[in-house]
Amino acid sequence: MKNAFLSRNHQYILLLVLFYFSSLAAQNYQKTAVGVKTKLQSMDVEVQFYSPSIVRVLKSPEGVAFKKESLSVNKKPQETKFTIQQKGDIVSMKTDKIEVELNLLTGKVSYLDLNGKSLFTEKDYGTQFTPIMDVKKNSFTVRQAFKLDQVEAIYGLGQLQNGKLQQRNQQVVLKNGNMNVSFPYFLSSKGYGVFWDNYAATTFTDNIQETSMESLGDCSDYYFMYGGSANGVVTQMRDLTGQAPMFPLWSYGYWQSKERYKNQQELMDVVAKYRELKVPLDGIIQDWQYWGKDSLWNQMGWDSATFPNPKGMADFVHKNNAHLMVVAWPGFGPETKQFNEFKDKKMLIDFDTWPPKSGAKPYDPYNPAARDIYWNYLNKGVFSIGVDAWWLDSSEPDHINVKDADFNQPTYLGSYRSVLNAFPLTHVSGVYDHQRATTSDKRVFILTRSAFVGQQRYGANTWSGDIQSTWESLGKQIPAALNFSLSGVPYWNADIGGFFAGRWKKDGGENNPEFRELYVRWLQFGTFTPMMRSHGTDIPREIYNFGKKGVWSYDAIEKNINLRYSLLPYLYSTAWEVTSQSASIMYALPLIFENDPKVRDINDEFMFGRSFLVAPIVKPMYTGKKEDKVFEDFSKTGSREVYLPEGANWFDFWTGEKLNGGQSVTKETPINIIPLYVKQGTILPWGPKVQYAEEKKWDTLEIRIYPGADGKFTLYEDENDNYNYEKGAFSTIKLEWNEQTKTVTIGKRKGSFNGMIKNRTFNIVLVDKEKGIGVSSTSNFNKTITYNGKAKSVKL
Long-range contacts, stretch 270-278, CB < 8 angstroms, 24+ apart:
270/542, 271/316, 271/317, 271/320, 271/322, 272/320, 273/542, 273/544, 274/322, 274/542, 274/543, 275/320, 275/691, 277/543, 277/544, 278/691
Name the β-bridge partners of 145.
212
Distances (CA, A) of 268 to 263, 304, 382: 9, 16, 17
- φ and ψ at residue 131, rounded to 5 degrees: -65, 135
Residue 359 and residue 355: Cα distance in Å, rounded?
A: 8
DSSP calls for 546-614: G--TTSHHHHHHHHHHHHHHHTHHHHHHHHHHHHHH---SEE-HHHH-TT-GGGTT--S-EEETTTEEE
Residue 387 and residue 381: Cα distance in Å, rounded?
A: 10
- Which residues are tagged catalytic? 393, 396, 466
Give the CA angle between residues 477, 478, 480 to the nearest 5°.
60
DSSP calls for 722-760: SSGGGGTBEEEEEEEEETTTTEEEEPPPEEE-TT--SSE
CA distance between the termini of the chain: 99
CB 729 within 8 A of CB 718: yes
Question: Would you call 712 exposed, middle or buried from its count of C-beta atoms within 10 A (0-12, 13-18, 19+)?
Answer: middle
CB 206 within 8 A of CB 570: no
Length of the chain, in residues:
796
CB 707 within 8 A of CB 771: no
Q: How many CA atoms lie within 13 A of 470 on its CB side?
A: 7
Q: Coil, helix or strand for 180?
A: strand
Torsion angle of the four alpha carbons 493, 499, 504, 505, in this order, in degrees rounded to the nearest 10:
140
CB 636 within 8 A of CB 667: no
**Beta pairing class for 650-652 and 658-659:** antiparallel
Q: How many CA atoms lie within 13 A of 498 on its CB side?
A: 25
DSSP structural state of residue 426: H
H helix runs in 420-470, sequence order = 423-438
CB 735 within 8 A of CB 715: yes
Q: Coil, helix or strand for 62?
A: coil
